[in-house]
């Protein structure tokens, strides 16, 4: 199952706002429709946003009188995830060559994301095997937000590693944070873990650090929406708390994201723009009011985990051991890992 694709001159994607109750495909034939879907999180996740951005440029060239304006608005739809802007820019380089060239580049980005996710699964599994050994009891993973196939085209990033572990009989259990305020962990990650038949349990966000201290997980895996040049990582809010808990408990904390999420033009996490989303996401839940009508909220969609709390960054082309003083600059990207036949 693909999260997003180009079908019959339009974009089709799984509407993630309807899960887990309904799995429905949303068809988009205008750039404004795509921008709306991105902003309301019908499509989300850094790799999926990169593909959406590239396909959106193809849609703009095919349907808009002024594709340049539409492309600019699409690029700015969500500021923190670097992949959206990257996907837009990559496809936009071919606008002068015409629609067929733009679509070819967008579809190449789609296909490349599928290959990247498979490679991250291999690299991540190799890293965890090296860090934790093979004692035959299986590995217990804690994760936040949703980083599976719904966040990419297929398989995903951090949850893609979990899937690879499960397929090889190496996963003992996945502990998925519910991920307030929009419950991407409870609604999406649990749905994906159930579909793959993996053993899992849900936990509330605030229980994560305590359960790490009590030895309930062997490693924490998260995705990323932007990785700065020094390794500071922006991800769904709640990641920083898990990193602090993991450090205290002596548990590896691993970031899994494609090379396209690495932003060497951003020196550190201090320069990452953090999206501030509407208060309604906090004070309501699917139109059910949770707080008094006069209650406001601070609602950062992401937080930034400092690089010194991260054990390693896994991409589709390398493993960077920050705990060994390696850096993104000192470890160059290599070949993708091949899945065993």
* Residues 114-170 pLDDT 10s: 999 999 999 999 999 999 987 667 999 999 999 999 999 999 999 999 999 999 999
Alpha carbons 105 and 90: distance in angstroms, whole number: 7
pLDDT, residue 80, reads 84
pLDDT, residue 338, reads 82
Token look-up 């996401």 returns 281
User: What is the average per-residue pLDDT within 2-21?
Assistant: 97
Q: How many helices (H) and strands (E) does the chain have?
A: 11, 16
How confident is residue 257, by pLDDT bands cut at 50, 70 and 90?
very high
CATH of 4-111 among 1.10.287.610, 1.20.120.420, 3.30.360.10, 2.60.120.580: 1.20.120.420
Class of the CATH domain delimited by 120-324: alpha beta
How confident is residue 28, by pLDDT bands cut at 50, 70 and 90?
very high
pLDDT, residue 117, reads 97
**pTM for the model:** 0.94
How confident is residue 341, by pLDDT bands cut at 50, 70 and 90?
low
Percent of the chain with pLDDT strictly greater than 70: 99
Alpha carbons 298 and 279: distance in angstroms, whole number: 7
92 pLDDT more than 70: yes
Percent of the chain with pLDDT strictly greater than 90: 95
Alpha carbons 303 and 301: distance in angstroms, whole number: 7
* Residues 178-193 pLDDT 10s: 999 999 999 999 999 9
Alpha carbons 18 and 20: distance in angstroms, whole number: 6
34 pLDDT more than 70: yes
Reported residue count of the chain is 341
Residues with a catalytic annotation lie at 225
User: What is the average per-residue pLDDT within 20-39?
Assistant: 97
pLDDT, residue 133, reads 85
Angle, CA of 71, 72 and 77, to the nearest 5°: 95
User: At 61, phi and psi to the nearest 5?
Assistant: -65, -35
Q: Which residues in the chain are classed under CATH 3.40.50.10470?
A: 120-324
């Amino acid at each position: 199952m693909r999260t997003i694709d180009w079908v019959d001159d339009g974009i089709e994607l799984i509407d993630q706002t309807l899960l887990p109750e309904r799995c429905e495909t949303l068809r988009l034939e205008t750039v404004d429709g795509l921008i709306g879907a991105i902003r309301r999180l019908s499509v989300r996740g850094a790799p999926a946003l990169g593909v959406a951005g590239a396909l959106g440029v193809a849609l703009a060239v095919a349907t808009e009188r002024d594709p340049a304006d539409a492309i600019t608005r699409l690029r700015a739809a969500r500021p923190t995830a670097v992949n959206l802007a990257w996907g837009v820019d990559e496809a936009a380089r071919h606008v002068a060559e015409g629609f067929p060239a733009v679509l070819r580049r967008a579809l190449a980005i789609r296909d490349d994301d599928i290959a990247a996710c498979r490679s991250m699964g291999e690299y991540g599994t190799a890293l965890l095997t090296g860090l934790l050994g093979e004692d035959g009891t299986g590995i217990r993973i804690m994760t936040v937000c949703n980083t599976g196939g719904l966040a990419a085209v297929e398989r995903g990033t951090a949850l893609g590693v979990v899937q690879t572990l499960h397929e090889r009989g190496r996963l003992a259990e996945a502990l998925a944070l519910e991920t307030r305020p929009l419950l991407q962990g409870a609604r999406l990650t649990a749905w994906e873990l159930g579909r793959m038949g993996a053993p899992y349990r849900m936990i509330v966000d605030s229980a994560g650090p305590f359960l790490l201290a009590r030895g309930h997980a062997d490693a924490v895996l998260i995705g990323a929406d932007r990785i700065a040049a020094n390794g500071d990582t922006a991800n769904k809010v709640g990641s920083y708390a898990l990193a602090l808990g993991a450090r205290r408990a002596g548990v590896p904390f691993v970031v899994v994201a494609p090379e396209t999420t690495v932003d060497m033009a951003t020196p550190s996490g201090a320069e990452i723009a953090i999206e501030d989303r509407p208060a309604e996401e906090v004070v309501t839940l699917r139109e059910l009011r949770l707080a008094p009508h006069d209650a406001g909220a601070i609602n950062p969609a992401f937080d930034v985990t400092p690089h010194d709390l991260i054990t390693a960054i896994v991409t589709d082309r390398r493993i960077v051991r920050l705990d060994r003083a390696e850096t993104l600059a000192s470890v160059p990207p290599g070949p993708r890992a091949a899945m065993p036949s």
